[in-house]
Structure 1
Amino acid sequence: MNKTLVILCGGDSSRMGTKKALLPFEDKTMVEYIYDKFSPFFDKVYLSVNERGDLAHLGLNAQEIPDISRNAGPFGAILSCLTMISGDRAFFMSVDTPFLDPRTAVLLYEQSYNYDITTFNFAGDQLDSICGVYNKRCIGSLFKCIFFKNTTRNYLQDRCYTNIISTDEIASVSKISMEQQFYKVNDRRSYYYAVFSILKHNFVC
């Protein structure tokens, strides 16, 4: 089974004040860090960007897909990518979730075959709400969400054949806590926490 990954790198980054994908992280940019971490587990990688060429200078072996609409948020980016990817589905993750475990992505992908969306339940303001496997079968529902300006997670999932993976099952393949895996770098404070966590981990190792 060929696995496809989409890293969502667009958005305005208004709270951060600069493009998150290009933030320094370890000895590279954040998008390079995630690409290097996840690409061994996937056969094809795409980068969702605001404009084609935004990240071309990094030389990653990944095709860029520009957003159809800058005003539709993450669901607009997912819709843009689903219309362009070569396969029938892809695992989508945000570029600002650097602690996500690739084994979690593989778990969701392996259980996504018969579903429009495969994701998980969680709680917490800092946790990512987009991560999951989306099939091209949910393109119509995404169009409706955007058209009716109701781009909430529940609104979309209620209109798609959705597979919810339990957090216990995710814990069985990854020792990284859910809170850490889906911690989202939203602003400078959360970015500095993420950088410090990586430095601390590398020092201990």
Structure 2
Amino acid sequence: MEIKEATAVILCGGKSRRMGFNKALLTIDGQFVLAKSAQHLQQLFPKVVLMTDQAGHFAGQAAFRELVIWEDRYPACGPLGGIASALEQITTPYAFVMACDMPEQPLAAISALAAQGSQSQVVLYQREGRLEPLFGFYHQSCLPIFQKQLHQGQRRIKQQFSQLQVTKVATEELLFTNVNTPEELSHWQKAEGMG
């Protein structure tokens, strides 16, 4: 089922210090994980966008030629800058935001999250008491608060959640895996090979 009220935005910034190279260009079995993620999300969303600090990262790569790429308007401000940039540019009420280092995108979990929050400004999963701010929905009405945070040098996404309508959807499942280090990448590749 298509989620027409949202644009999917994959955040491709970050320094990737622990990985040692740009995670947006991570490949598994010769395929760009990011391009595969975008294609996967196209099953749910009418528009999928890559948000990056430099569009030049993807120049000349055939895998990204058909994808929409936006440049972050708040470079060096972390994920919150990417979210604010997305909210400034989307034409849908919501942005579904996720990080680029998630090799798997559980579409059923995304759909279930979308079904929870038609009246909310932010809709996120909460696992073991911890919110997952880089896998959730943000309404355009969050933008003024996020812009104010950025202008004040506050980069924590959750910093001003008390001023927003936030729906927290409890889950006990580990819905996705982040790949942050070469060791995690190796572990994930082995798990994939066994699957």
Shorter-chain TM-score bucket reads 0.7 to 0.9
Q: Secondary structure at the match of 2:141?
A: helix
Q: Distance in 1 between matches of 2:121 and 2:66?
A: 27
TM-score, with structure 1 as normaliser? 0.83
8 Å CA contact 1:23–1:30 kept in 2: the answer is: yes
Match of 1:115 in 2: 120
Pairing partner for 1:46 from 44, 49, 53: 49
| Paired residues of 2:106 and 2:176 also in contact (CA < 8 A) | no
Alpha-carbon distance in structure 2 between the residues aligned to 1:118 and 1:40? 20
Which residue number corresponds to residue 76 of structure 2? 71
Residue in 2 aligned with 1:150?
Answer: 154
User: Which contiguous aligned blocks of 4+ residues in structure 1 show a shift greater than 6 angstroms?
Assistant: none
Specify the alignment match of 1:163 in structure 2: 167
Aligned to 1:59: 64
Task: Say whether residues 1:200 and 2:191 are aligned partners.
Answer: no
* Alignment partners' CA distance in 2, 1:118 and 1:28: 31
Tell me, yes or no, if structure 1 residue 188 matches structure 2 residue 192.
Answer: no
Structure 2 CA distance for aligned equivalents of residues 32 and 106 of structure 1? 20
RMSD value over aligned CA atoms?
2.2
Percent identity, please: 24
Q: Structure 1: which amino acid aligns with 2:156?
A: T
Task: Give the count of matched residue pairs.
Answer: 190
Higher alpha-carbon deviation: 19-28 or 68-77: 19-28
Query: Contact 1:115–1:163 (CA<8 Å) still a contact in 2?
Result: yes
TM normalised by structure 2 equals 0.87
Given candidates 19, 24, 31, the residue that maps to 1:21 is 24
* 1:113/1:54 CA distance change after superposition, 3 Å: farther
- Consecutive unaligned residues of structure 2, counting only runs of 5 or more, are none
More strand per residue: 1 or 2? 2
For structure 1, the 5+ residue unaligned runs are 169-176
Match among 121, 126, 137 for residue 141 of structure 2: 137
